Amino acid sequence: MLALALGLSVFAVSYNLLSAYIKTEKVVVASKYLEPYQKISVSDLKVVELPQKTVHPDSIRSPEMLIGSYTLCPLFPGQIVLAGHVMSAGNQPGIAIEIPSEERAIFVPADASRAVGGLINPGDRVDLIWSQRGTSLYQPGDGAVTVMDNARVVRVVHDNSGDFRGVVIAAPPDICQAIAGYLETGNIYLVLVPWDAPGDGGTLNTEVWPGK
């Protein structure tokens, strides 16, 4: 009898554990790869059923909760969408959300004549070349220096009439500080970089500083 009772107890425990895994729950997953800060649409999501025990407590159960929201990180096809993966549509991200924590954004003013005729788009890479103000200060081979290369353009700024006014770039804090100094003493030219050019936008010429 004792053996029978033990056997029934083991069966009951095993059945409860097994039934918990058999039970399923609907969750929302990404239907395709989603970029960080991408606005979520209906076609980006699908609902699947997974074993209840495998479902994370922060999983989103209804796709309607996500439509119009923004991703905060990459999402891969089939990945369960958690609450921490998205930002509410009511809190539409500004430009700050596009800047990595180790970088800062700085506006670099330049008219079209110093910026490839204004033919610069967000996502492009540009070299920043500083030139001293005043032609009397310029000597051949002197007075101009590359401040930064491969700077990532976050935004292109136009005035109300549509004229090009400059770009917002992302750069490490120390380089932003240096750029601010260069802007106070001269002009910055923006040179468009080919898409396949090597580099990560971290080069700063420290040999030539404003006023030297």
- Give percent above pLDDT 90 in the chain: 52
209 exposed, middle or buried (CB, 10 Å; 0-12, 13-18, 19+)?
middle
Query: Which pLDDT score is estimated for 4?
Result: 45
pLDDT-wise least confident of 29-33, 81-85, 207-211? 207-211
Q: What is the pLDDT of residue 27?
A: 94
Enter the pTM of the model: 0.55
Is residue 67 domain-resident? yes
Average pLDDT over residues 194-205: 64
Residues 34, 74: contact at Cβ < 8 Å? Answer: yes
* pLDDT, averaged across the chain: 81
Identity of the amino acid at 157: V
Confidence band, pLDDT 50/70/90 cuts, at residue 208: very low
Containing structural domain, residue 151? 97-204
Lowest average pLDDT, out of 20-34, 151-165, 197-211, goes to: 197-211
* Whole-number pLDDT of residue 95: 76
Residues 143, 182, single domain; the answer is yes
Residues 104 and 159 in one domain: yes
Q: How far apart are CA 171 and CA 103, in angstroms?
A: 5
Pair (63, 158) in one structural domain? no
Which residues in 18-38 are b (16+ Cβ under 10 Å) and which e? eeeeeeeeebbbbbeebeeee
Task: Sort 126 into a burial class: Cβ within 10 Å, 0-12 / 13-18 / 19+.
Answer: buried
Of 91, 110, 141, which residue is a domain's last? 91
Q: Tell me the β-bridge partners of 164.
A: 158
CATH code for the domain in which residue 59 is found: 3.90.1210.10
Shared domain for 66 and 131, answered yes or no, is no
- Domain total in the chain: 2
Average pLDDT rounded to a whole number, residues 105-123: 94
Range of weakest confidence among 125-129, 165-169, 201-205: 201-205
Q: Are residues 200 and 102 in the same domain?
A: yes
pLDDT at residue 15 is higher than 60: no
What average pLDDT does range 133-145 have in this prediction? 60
Domain's final residue, options 59, 91, 123? 91
Whether residue 106 is found in the same domain as residue 154: yes
